[in-house]
Structure 1
Amino acid sequence: MSVQDIFNEISLTKDESIWESAEDSNAWNRKRIKFLSEYKECMFEKILNKETSTARKNVKLSGALLMKAQKTQETSAKLKLLSQALMFCPPGEVMDQVLRVRARIFYNIDKISYCHEDIKSIKKRNEDDEKLLQYQANGSSDTNKDQESLLTEPNKKYKNFTSKIEVNSARNKGRFVIATEDIKPGELIAEENSIIGVADAKFSRDHCDNCLISLDDYCLPCSQCSSVAFCSKLCRDQAKHHSVECLLLDQIYRADTGAWHLALRLVASKPAQFWNTAEYKQENQDSYASSEMSSAFHLVTHDDTADREAPILMKECMTALYFLRILQADGYFNNKGKKSQTELSKEELNICMLLLHFMRVVFYNCHEVTEYIDQDVIRRIGVCLNPSLALINHSCDSNYARVVKGRRSLAFATRLIKKGEQIYDSYSPTFFLAPRAERLEVTESYNFNCGCEACVENWPTQEKMSDVCKQMCTSKLNDIEFADLKDNLQEVLSTEENISVETIVELLLKCYDNIQHPDKLVLLLETKLHSTLWKVHST
């Protein structure tokens, strides 16, 4: 039985007034959580039974994968099978054997650092193993590569942004980001490592559970479950959330909690004692960094303005309680002196309310984690929370875009953003890609109706836009020069050869001086700039 099945089964039983109330307040949500916790079904005992977990280690399967790998000739296929064998292998003789075979392959293909990592992980090393450790890696290490920051002049207060912005606030806008100097297309606006992230279920075994990068030849498994792998020991050590999710991750995915899963990971990333203090609520007035829990805590939740219906409120509270039961199953709390299993201590109730708070934070502020495949194919592989980029407000005519690798996001201007102009993200598809009615459905789910220029003037989508460029009245080009500009624009858009970022930016700047916005070809060139930035920075 799934969490949704349990919700359906117990709905409108016992006190109907609680089920039917649409009052959204801390007092009422505490009441809902206490009420739900009294249901035996809301212990989720069958769902959260680690003894019956599908992610338990399987030494027979691991051995079979090892045998298959040894019969495989192609190196990458062999390494993939060995990594799968490690995922299912409990610590012991078979794991040592798998590590030993994989280490020798890494040695043969000159990935000595990976070789050394595997040898060091072997519990009972032999003489040949020790000899492999004597070989020195040429050049830099294959593992734990730290990416150098591309943000050359960071903002003094908003550490993840360029110095060319400031963050303001207004009653009807909340916080928003504006340019304090002209920002050219292709220029880096922000660089952010998300405070937390989670891969979608189908990518959970081939992407690092911590940093979310794609796992290629090398991976490290969890020692207790077969649900996740890591790209390095550093990531395995940093993934504090996994001790709570270990052997339960498949059940969490089946509960279909979506981005709410990030709330569980945020809480699980810190010990229970951390949340007993007010430290995470205290904002630093002189500094705002994405790594600080206070930055995540104070993101918008729309508690006072969202019109949540009674079933949604109950579903939210039940999901928060489900996450709390996962924490309990891991021994997250000191439960001495509790009278019953269903009873919630004061600490547990506070944590459950915190989970509910973060569920709303991530709902309104999370970003997709995407990755570049090839030929301009970009796919979603998960979600993350970027407390800095979440400060950027919405427009259906956005002027910046992200290049993402795992939990690292690079935010680039895709258009000339002049001093004093606001920087805009697009929470929905842009006006260029989707009609207003479709965009409105998305923005309403974020608790606002968009009033950007594209919506107010109902700009046409790409399919309905003309290819004819309209010359600005302030343009200084004569007819021949303007025709040459259009030809150049069409030529760049039609070419299949790689064109540099600098070439595209130069052409865009000339277009902004001479062609009226919105223009189909210019918008397509901005899209080409984004795809080119992906190619340059995603490797």
Structure 2
Amino acid sequence: MLGKYEDKVYTAICSEKTLQSNEKGFFMQFVENVQEEVGQDWIQNTFGTLKSDKERIRKVYEYEPLKTVVFDTLSRVQEIYRQKSADVSQSRRRLAEQALKNGEIQKALILYSQSILRSPPTGENKAVDDGKSLSLGFWGRSQVFATMNEYNFALSDIQTALKENIFDSYKAQAFWKMGVCYKAVGEVERSKVAFGVAEKLLQNNEGALRNLKKDMEKDYKQNSNQFKKSLPKVSGKSHPKLPNASSKICIKQAKGLGRFVAAQEAVQTGDVLTVEPPYAACLLPECFGTHCHHCFDRLIAPVGCPTCCSIAFCGNDCRNIAVKTYHSFECKYLDLLIGSGMSILAHTALRMITQNNLEKILKIYENKDLEPVYSLCTNSELRRPEDFFQRTLMACFLLRCLQKCGYFPYRRDDDCTPSEDELKVAELLLLHLQILQFNAHEIYESKCSTNHRFKGVKAGYIGVAVYPTSSYFNHSCYPGVTRYFVGKNIILTATRPINPGEIIPENYGPVFTRRNLVERQKSLSSRYWFVCECIACIQNWPSLDKGLDNVSRKVRCPTQRCTYYFVLPVENDTIKCPKCKKNVCLTENIVRLKNCEEQLKEAGELMEKEDAKNGIRLLQEAIDVFHKVSVPPHRDIHLGQELLRTFLAEAGNVHVVAQ
């Protein structure tokens, strides 16, 4: 399949990891049990001859020896999730109150948030806090935010505490503090209204009224520097047919390349080519406690699911969207799904179903050609029978979870046997598992220190998503774009100029500056099932630590459309070009190359000064000019492109870690 770079064992391991990433999970054990029952000969010579996903799904449910062992496992699927606890909520709140008294602000904030996330809905357990644990948690956390001068968060928590019917004895204080918060965030009229309500509630308490008057006259400052990152606009005009893309790109198709993105017109360094929300996205389980389950922003004032304690949201808006759609089905089975060891890709395959209701999913099934995501590569013609078999079993497991969670409104019995509609959903799940293996993007945030915004920055992965338009970009070990993320939106920006008609490549992981040819090819052939034939691979460019320093500098022939380049140094700046046969002067190009190198050095100095704005401007200019007068590889220009990627990523998800 992949010639000298193919490692069948490693390829099989990579493929399995896209189904089950956690070795402690039970899914692959389930697969092994089924494989033992039917035998490798049946998988190879019977299941392996099936030609469609429809046939594969139905074979599992119809072939009696296979059906029996599969149903035995699927019949045991049941709700497993972390339930709410008023006792735990009360305990966390009391610890938070003590921490706040001790001046341990951050500890108090964490404990109050835990109290909120663990609290059952208001009125559910009246034996604890008279059923008002949730409102008390929000009220307590609002005091912490007020202490921190984070009045916007304090205001939101007070409003929620009132909505959750806080004790009457707290209401005067709540409107009082609401008035303070409104005043701090600049909403003067609302501040007056809130203070007025507090006055009425305190009409018989002269001491409190005097203090209220004092607070009404004070000035308050909102100290929060928290803000939502804004999305950039694509360069040029919006593409008429490709959602969320620039008109500077187009989709082409060629033998051996499939569909790919090319330049419709000249692309310059820094051009924004796509700004795309995901078709579907899932947060990594290890980020459930740090990021919003829906938008992927870092949590500051988290709110919880009304039912489970497994996840958190940045606010009510994200929570309401999630609990009205996908999370209503995943909620009580989330811990089971994680316990199965299934990969984040498998979860995303499920999310592609749960984010829509059954009626819409059945329409999608009948009209897949209208959904761009279903035109993405599956490599089904290269897939081995064992791989198809494993994915089919995962589709059946996910379908069983959907059967149990109420996704199919008409299902009443506990039989695993699927209906015709359920079989269609299982087919889609199997298709999703194939698409996502080769088209999913890892969503990341840049982790930097308080000491320096750019030194030692590392990418921390937080989730996975599929982007139909951005997935059309083919790979190169010498990429033409870089990606960063705002929330779960992907932004692809050009890191070098691309001429009209040329391929605009992305990078799927292995880049030539960091990994040698053999390492890159093994990784790509095992993970993505292709042999890379980019210029860095064909010419076997050296990596940074294996000789890139020693590559000679070059300048292009100045004759228009001539592709020849001269290796520096040259004996004479005026020389005959062996390709176009003209006598040419190289002086101007040599000078411009030297200027580029000086600009790259200056950009490095701007990085030291943490001046991203001017650094980006300088790098864009230098990289554009370099490609007019020289050709890669060139150590300084590639380091400059890496620096540009670091600068650009600051506009996306960033987490500052205290040092």
* TM-score, structure 2 normalization: 0.73
Evaluate the alpha carbon distance shift between residue 505 and residue 24 of structure 1 in structure 2; reply closer, same or farther with a 3 A threshold.
farther
Residues 146-295 of structure 1 aligned to structure 2 (within 5 Å) = 147-151=230-234, 153-215=237-299, 217-239=300-322, 240-258=325-343, 259-278=345-364, 281=367, 283=369, 294-295=371-372
In the alignment, what sits opposite 2:407? 332
Instruction: Report the structure, 1 or 2, having the larger helix content.
Output: 2
CA positional deviation for 1:513 = 3.1
Q: Is 2:21 the partner of 1:3?
A: no
Aligned counterparts of 1:299 and 1:440: Cα–Cα separation in 2: 22
Kept after mapping to 2: 8 A contact 1:465/1:520: no
Structure 1 residue 148: deviation in Å?
A: 4.9
Q: 2:143 aligns with which of 90, 100, 104?
A: 104
Contact 1:396–1:426 (Cα < 8 Å) also in 2: yes
Relative to structure 1, the CA distance from residue 368 to residue 248 in structure 2 (aligned partners, 3 Å threshold; closer, same or farther) is: same
State the alpha-carbon separation in 1 of the partners of residues 618 and 227 from structure 2.
34
Indicate the larger mover: 133-142 or 325-334: 133-142
What secondary structure sits across from 2:441 in the alignment?
strand
Matched, 1:115 2:201: no
Correspondence list, 1:76-115, <5 A: 76-92=106-122, 93-115=132-154
Worse-matched range after superposition: 223-232 or 269-278: 269-278
Mind listing any 5+ residue stretches in structure 1 that lack a counterpart? 285-293
Q: Is contact 1:196–1:384 with CA below 8 Å preserved after alignment?
A: yes
Match for residue 29 of structure 1 among 56, 78, 100: 56
Is residue 297 from structure 1 mapped to residue 374 from structure 2 by the alignment? yes
2:85: which partner in 1? 58
> Equivalents in 1 of 2:38, 2:592: separation in Å?
77
8 A contact 1:166–1:177 mirrored in 2:
yes
- Is 1:411 equivalent to 2:492 in the alignment? yes
Which residue number in structure 2 is paired with residue 307 of structure 1?
A: 383
Say whether 1:454 aligns with 2:536. Answer: yes
Residues 183-192 or 131-140, more deviating: 131-140
Rounded to whole Å, the distance in 2 between the matches of 1:172 and 1:42 is 44
In the alignment, structure 1 residue 436 sits paired with structure 2 residue 517: yes
**Alignment CA distance shift 1:453-1:332 (3 Å):** same
Moved more, 389-398 or 169-178: 169-178
Question: Secondary structure of 1:401's partner?
Answer: strand
Q: Offset at 1:43?
A: 4.3
What SS is found at the alignment partner of 1:191?
strand
Report sequence identity in percent. Answer: 22
Aligned position for 1:502:
617
Q: CA deviation at 1:533?
A: 0.8
Look up the SS of the partner of 2:37 in the other structure.
coil
The alpha-carbon deviation at position 429 of structure 1 amounts to 0.9
Q: Which residue of 1 aligns with 2:636?
A: 521
Indicate how the Cα distance of structure 1 residues 534 and 280 shifts in structure 2: closer, same or farther if over 3 A, else same: farther
Which range is displaced more, 517-526 or 132-141?
A: 132-141
- SS of 1:472's equivalent in the other structure is strand
Match of 2:588 in 1: 477
- State how far apart, in whole Å, the 1-side matches of 2:593 and 2:497 are: 20
2:378 is aligned with 1:354: no
Query: 1:144, 1:234 within 8 Å by CA — same for their partners in 2?
Result: no
Q: What's the CA shift for 1:482?
A: 5.1
2: CA distance, partners of 1:18 / 1:30: 15
Partners of 2:43 and 2:386 within 8 A in 1 = yes
Q: Deviations over 1:163-201 (max 9, x none)?
A: 211122234322211112222212211101112111222
Which of 62, 66, 78 does residue 49 from structure 1 map onto? Answer: 78
Aligned partner (choices 470, 475, 478) of residue 394 of structure 1: 475
Runs of 4+ in 1 over 6 A off after TM superposition: 140-144, 478-481
7-16 vs 132-141, which moves further: 132-141
**CA pair 489-477 structure 1, distance change in 2 beyond 3 A:** farther
CA contact (8 A) 2:333 2:405 kept: no
2-side partners of 1:252 and 1:13: how far apart?
A: 24
Please tell me whether Structure 1 or Structure 2 has the larger radius of gyration of its CA atoms: 2
SS of match in other structure, 2:109: helix
- Aligned equivalent of 2:580: none
Q: Which whole-Å CA distance do the structure 1 matches of 2:555 and 2:326 have between them?
A: 55
| 8 A Cα contact 2:272 2:491, kept in partner | yes
Kindly indicate whether the alpha-carbon contact (under 8 Å) linking 1:86 and 1:221 is maintained by their aligned counterparts in 2. Answer: yes
Unaligned runs of 5+ residues in structure 2 are 1-24, 123-131, 188-221, 449-454, 558-585, 655-659
CA distance in 2, matches of 1:277, 1:43: 30
After superposition, the Cα gap between the structure-2 partners of 1:481 and 1:366, relative to the gap in structure 1 and judged at 3 Å, is closer
Q: 1: CA distance between counterparts of 2:350 and 2:411?
A: 23
SS at match of 1:458: coil
Report which stretch shifted further, 241-250 or 32-41: 32-41
- Tell whether the 8 Å contact from 1:395 to 1:452 is kept in structure 2 after alignment: yes
Residues of 1 paired with 2:421 and 2:447: CA distance?
45
Residue 363 of structure 1: how far off its partner (Å): 1.2
For the 8 Å contact 1:190–1:410, the answer to whether it is kept is yes
Alpha-carbon distance in structure 1 between the residues aligned to 2:595 and 2:38: 75
What is the CA–CA distance in structure 2 between the aligned matches of 1:167 and 1:40, rounded to whole Å? 43
RMSD between aligned alpha carbons? 2.8
Length, aligned pairs only: 523
Q: Is the 8 A contact 1:281 1:297 kept in 2?
A: no
Work out the CA distance in 1 between the residues paired with 2:589 and 2:471. 43
Tell me the residue number matched to 2:393.
318
SS of equivalent residue, structure 2 residue 549: coil
SS of residue paired to 2:485:
strand
Q: Does 1:422 align with 2:449?
A: no
